[in-house]
Amino acid sequence: MSQTDRPLREIKSFGRRDGRPLSKKQKHLYDTLLPDLALPTDEPLSATSLFGDERPLWLEIGFGGSEHLIRRARLNPDIGLIGAEPFIDGVAKALTGISDNNLKNVRLHADDIRQVLPNFGEAAFERVFILFPDPWPKRRQQKRRLIQPAFLDELARAMKPGAALRFATDVKSYANEALWRFLQHGAFEWTAENAADWRDQPEDHEPTRYQLKKLGDCEPVWLEFIRT
């Protein structure tokens, strides 16, 4: 059974999961490359099991068109980069980038990270990126947003003390809610010292296709945290 056919527990996401039909090349990569890169869903996960050594692990949750994911992987070949994305279009773009750049340091979960995050051991990740996650802008939908107490419990467990987390959104209500939830949780320290720290794009950031569309209701807000 191919990755496109394999059933997984459904977790609702904002927008469509499929989108435009895949090109012939993308379909080929989905069928041939993704099985080699896909995270096992029913066994413990670690740097050793995924990459054969004890390299540091980074995690990008919801990598969209994979621009940021691919650049990070190219610039950090000694890092194991885990990417999770439920949308087929985004996974196909990531597979193309991995193939074109001959990247060996990326593993993918073609669905919601909440399905596999519990399979990682404690203190597994040294860096986490959550860039422009599903906004669920309507008030009745906001309970579906990723940043919820149970998710932060699991994320905190999987991050090393001192690990860095970057959250970005261009939806004002989500920025306010996410900051409040991170601070209420207690395992994350906000590193901002002045307004520029959340208003200015970080120097090492790779703009994403979604970000450049400017679909939100505010300029991007950048929240940086340290796992205490």
* pLDDT tens digits, 31-66: 999 999 999 999 999 999 999 999 999 999 999 999
Three-state SS at 46: coil
Query: What confidence score (pLDDT) does residue 19 get?
Result: 58
Q: Which amino acid is at 171?
A: V
Angle ∠(133,126,112) on CA atoms, nearest 5: 35
Structure confidence by residue, pLDDT tens digits, 78-108: 999 999 999 999 999 999 999 999 999 999 9
Query: What confidence score (pLDDT) does residue 173 get?
Result: 93
105 inside domain: yes
194 inside domain: yes
Residue in 134, 170, 204, 217 annotated catalytic:
134
11 inside domain: no
Q: Indicate the number of domains in the chain.
A: 1
Structure tokens at 228: 């205490």
- In whole angstroms, give the CA distance from residue 89 to residue 181: 30
Query: What confidence score (pLDDT) does residue 210 get?
Result: 84
- Give the containing element (helix H, strand E) for 89: helix 88-100
Query: What confidence score (pLDDT) does residue 1 get?
Result: 35
Query: What confidence score (pLDDT) does residue 18 get?
Result: 54
Task: Grade residue 11 by pLDDT with cuts at 50, 70 and 90.
Answer: very low
pLDDT of 130 above 50: yes
6 inside domain: no
Structure confidence by residue, pLDDT tens digits, 177-211: 999 999 999 999 999 999 999 999 999 998 888 89
β-partners of residue 107 are 82
Q: Which of 221, 168, 162, 169 is nearest to 187 (CA)?
A: 162
Structure tokens at 9: 């527990």
pLDDT of 14 above 50: no
For tokens 């999770």, what's the residue?
84
Active-site residue 42, yes or no?
no
For tokens 């990740």, what's the residue?
125
Distances in Å between the Cα of 164 and the Cα atoms of 19, 38, 153, 186, 206 are 33, 25, 16, 15, 17
Domain around 83: 28-227
Structure tokens at 224: 């940086």
21 inside domain: no
Q: What is the pTM of this model?
A: 0.90
Q: Which of 121, 134, 170, 179 is nearest to 152 (CA)?
A: 179
**What CATH number is associated with residue 193?**
3.40.50.150
216 inside domain: yes
Write phi, then psi, for 79 (nearest 5 degrees): -100, 140
- In whole angstroms, give the CA distance from residue 15 to residue 23: 21
Query: What confidence score (pLDDT) does residue 152 get?
Result: 98
